[in-house]
Structure 1
């Protein structure tokens, strides 16, 4: 009996050892499998592919939150192979939203000027010289799709001709220099008003200026110009308006400017946006309205400042803040020769309060205030900046100041532009 129990105990111990050995083997196998999954992630080798051209990196114009992707895929034009690379492997890699890239590439189409077989300069001069009684030379720029050129922009054009019936307006734009753009402008032409759209020629406009080198680096890409997060179209418009006035002289207007009275008295002028309350001196200028002679020295200084200090990540740095920096620096010098108009001239309402112009009267007191404000604006302002980015979604209410301006600016009174209440 004792022998039997001893053998039984020995077999049980052997079985226990085998059981633990089996469990250990299973756990080791499981650990090896998991380690293989965790540590077998493929890290690609550095490939000698061309870096993404900086000019094709999109800008975030809306300021909305972004969704970034850590892995980008691109097709190499040299070998046709689809390559995937991690931006963390490249010191110059930039994370981006695909919608920003699409918008950026759409804007860059404007760099391929379409001059319809005729030089840009010749088209501009032919238009101004052959248009009879062309008393004023106006320029607007449009670096967007033709589909986005809407009622607000058409109202701005109407206001130009309401105050300057003998003026001539060129909309410098690739998209508007098209059959569809011509149809858009036809109602003005049918009334004998002088307006046209011409595609820009950046090479001509920036030739022999500091912007020539900047533009060439932008077109070549490869990181020559850091376009940043601000819309490239916005920054190109900032530079384009300077080149137009420098080459031809005249009046530049943003497409959200409502002109109220003639600019006849204005010469080499720019408007202040804000004043220093303590000193009464201007603290910031704006470039939404500019009146300058051809070849004015200040325009050359503006262009040089743009090229030398360009920053694609700071809103306004290449626009309102740029003209403010240069004018402040040259104030008092012989080259100054510019009139800085008070905010009431072009910016009677700050962007943060522009909504008040779209609201109709709430009561008798508000009604009297609106009437007083309307009289003040028409008495002291040459134009009103609608600050499109802030006001584009506002509804034009009955009895509002904007409704009065729309009615008084109308030259196409049978057009749909006055019927639309959401400008």
Structure 2
């Protein structure tokens, strides 16, 4: 039994709880009455805000901080003397192993996204031809010209026809002036057209063997490191960077063409002065260190190589594994310099590096001097004499000289007079 005092306390506690419950129930009814007394538009606004908040929380995605792009280590990816690739550098490279290729996807501003998409559309449009088409045309061209095709030359033009002008035509003239029996293939979609045929017609009409053919990247890159890199590019898994994608494709295309077919590649801003017939597996130095007597940088504007030369294989491998579209020259001249510096002296790599005077008698910083005659006549005479004796070609560095006018009496004026074919026709 409970004590009377305890029973009184229990009753008081129960009464207090009952009173609180009644107050809460009354408050709830008051709030509901207030809500139902409000206009219908208020409920509509409240419901809209609630749905908006719910949608935001459901569809919003937390974006983590972008990881630092992984730098591909040469020691990890470059073939060593003991690796299967180095022992047999012609093995097909079709595997999709992430250990062989690891490229980071980089977030880009909208301008770069649009540029990337335009580049990819161009790439995909230039690779729609069936494999036998490109190969069949080249095979027919070389076979039909076999009896008189003493040298095989390649050029590339991954641009519209608007930029193909007198300087590019003169480069072709100089080539045929020094190699009248040569075969020239210009790998270009824009030139492989009715308008392109008209541009090349003067050469064909005068008996020179030249053909423009749109590239089949799938065929050209097949069974090389370039194949996997190119597939990743088409899928959008390679950042093309700020440097022109066409320029970097040209850097890779020239290497793959020489690897597949062998011959000579020259840029369309190179003027040929004399025959290359005695040159084999040759690169030209762009700069030379007079103190050490060694080259300090090579260039890829002129490349002369046998078919499937191991150095070409290493160039293509380096391109695929270290591609950087944001550094000018990284996938071109600097690539050639990096690889040659690593393989020099290794057995199996037989090639020659010619001094700058062979193809680059002046570098890009001094190219203006070849277009002017305001310099001292002594310098002009000495430089012209050096070019005449030591140079097989002259690189005009189009990026730095395209807008320069040829002054009468300048070195370039003299070169044009001696190397043109149609100047007197």
- Structures share a fold, TM > 0.5? yes
Judged with a 3 Å threshold, the aligned counterparts in structure 2 of structure 1 residues 190 and 217 are, in CA distance, closer, same or farther, namely same
SS in 1 for 2:290: coil
Q: How far did 1:269 drift?
A: 0.4
> Do structure 1's residue 343 and structure 2's residue 356 form an aligned pair?
yes
Residue 405 of structure 1, aligned match among 399, 402, 415 = 415
CA distance in 2, matches of 1:104, 1:374: 46
When normalised by structure 1's length, the TM-score is: 0.73
Unaligned residue ranges in structure 1 (runs of 5+): 1-42, 49-90, 416-423
The 5 A counterparts of 1:286-305 are 286-305=299-318
Measured on the aligned residues, the alpha-carbon RMSD in Å equals: 2.4
- For residues 140-190 of structure 1, give each alpha carbon's deviation from its aligned partner in whole angstroms, at most 9, with x where no partner exists: 000000111111100100000000000010000001100100100000011
Structure 1 partner of 2:141: 127
Distance in 2 of aligned mates of 1:106 and 1:309: 20
Runs of at least 5 residues in structure 2 that lack an aligned partner in the other structure: 1-55, 63-104
TM-score, normalising length from structure 2?
0.73
Q: Which residue of 1 aligns with 2:387?
A: 377
Q: 2:174 aligns with which of 159, 184, 188?
A: 159
Q: Distance in 1 between matches of 2:119 and 2:161?
A: 12
- What secondary structure is seen at the aligned counterpart in 2 of 1:275? strand
Shift of 1:103: 8.8
Extract structure 1 runs of 4+ deviating beyond 2 A: 43-48, 100-104, 110-118
- Residue by residue over 1:204-228, the C-alpha shift from the partner in whole angstroms, topping out at 9 and shown as x without a partner, is 111111111100000111xx10111
Cα distance in 2, alignment partners of residues 262 and 115 from structure 1: 34
**Following TM superposition, by how much is the alpha carbon of 1:398 offset from its aligned partner in structure 2, in angstroms?**
1.1
- Residue of structure 2 aligned with 1:312, choices 302, 320, 325: 325
Q: Any conservation in 2 of the 1:397–1:403 contact (CA below 8 Å)? A: yes
Q: Map of 1:39-188 to 2, 5 A cutoff? A: 46=60, 93-97=107-111, 101=114, 105=118, 108-112=121-125, 113=127, 115=129, 119-131=133-145, 132-188=147-203
In the superposition, relative to structure 1, how do residues 46 and 126 fare at CA in structure 2: closer, same or farther (>3 Å)? Answer: farther
CA distance in 2, matches of 1:47, 1:412: 65
Larger radius of gyration: 2
Secondary structure at 1:351's aligned position in 2? coil
Q: Cα–Cα, structure 1 residues 111 and 277, in superposed 2: closer, same or farther, change >3 Å? A: farther
Query: Number of aligned pairs?
Result: 327
Match of 2:405 in 1: 395
Deviations 1:371-405 (A, max 9, x none): 22111101100000000101111111111111111
Cα separation, 2, equivalents of 1:236 and 1:315 = 13
- Distance in 2 (CA, whole Å) between partners of 1:111 and 1:339 is 37
Contact 2:156 2:188 in 1 (8 A): yes
